[in-house]
């Protein structure tokens, strides 16, 4: 009878394999990948009595890098940024990479949003978009009715 020593590396591969199979690959809503396999900025969307608030994580950008528009009930947040490093013509480089980043996130707006009053602010790497609700969509306070 031959004894086989268990390899300590095997559980690592088993865990990687199990993690891979455990993911629900059919639910693409859990992924922040675009059709081109690039990552998209993550967003948080919160509803209050007064508005919806969209927060987008986009560190390292400037407010001028963003384009925000509303068209036919769709809010689109996009960015296109390219960086070229300047070198003198005499430089001899073995590798030089251009940097190009772009994304577009789109959200269907509920009819309760007052699209004329949407405001945005970029601060500390977070883009905040405030989507105020129409007056008729805001909760009404309790009103007591007198009985005659």
Assigned CATH topology for domain 33-84+99-137: Immunoglobulin-like (2.60.40)
Burial of 14 (0-12, 13-18, 19+ CB in 10 A): exposed
DSSP string spanning 100-143?
EEEEEEEEEPPTTB-GGG-EEEEETTEEEEEEEBPGGGSPPPP-
Q: How far apart are CA 128 and CA 109, in angstroms?
A: 16
According to the model, what pLDDT value does residue 118 have?
Answer: 96
Residues 95-143: tens digit of each pLDDT: 777 777 888 999 999 999 999 999 999 999 999 999 999 988 788 888 8
Q: What is the mean pLDDT of residues 37-66?
A: 89
According to the model, what pLDDT value does residue 94 have?
Answer: 73
Neighbours of 133 (CB within 10 A): 19
With vertex at residue 52, the alpha carbon angle to CA 101 and CA 144, rounded to the nearest 5 degrees, is 180
At 86, the pLDDT band (50, 70, 90 cuts) reads low
According to the model, what pLDDT value does residue 16 have?
Answer: 43
According to the model, what pLDDT value does residue 22 have?
Answer: 52
Q: What is the mean pLDDT of residues 12-29?
A: 46
At 19, the pLDDT band (50, 70, 90 cuts) reads very low
According to the model, what pLDDT value does residue 139 have?
Answer: 83
Least confident of 10-19, 44-53, 102-111: 10-19
């Amino acid at each position: 009878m031959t004894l086989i020593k268990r390899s300590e590396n095997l559980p690592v591969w088993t865990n990687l394999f199990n993690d891979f199979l455990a993911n629900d690959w059919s639910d693409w809503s859990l992924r922040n990948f675009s059709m081109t396999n690039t990552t998209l900025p993550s967003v948080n969307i919160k509803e209050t009595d007064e508005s919806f608030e969209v927060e987008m994580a986009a560190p390292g950008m400037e407010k001028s890098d963003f384009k925000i528009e509303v068209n036919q009930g769709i809010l689109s947040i996009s960015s296109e940024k390219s960086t070229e490093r300047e070198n003198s013509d005499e430089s001899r480089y073995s590798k030089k990479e251009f940097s190009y980043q772009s994304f577009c996130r789109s959200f269907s707006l509920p009819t309760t949003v007052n699209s004329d009053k949407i405001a945005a602010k970029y601060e500390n790497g977070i883009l905040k978009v405030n989507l105020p609700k129409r007056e008729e969509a805001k909760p009404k306070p309790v009103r007591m009715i007198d009985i005659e």
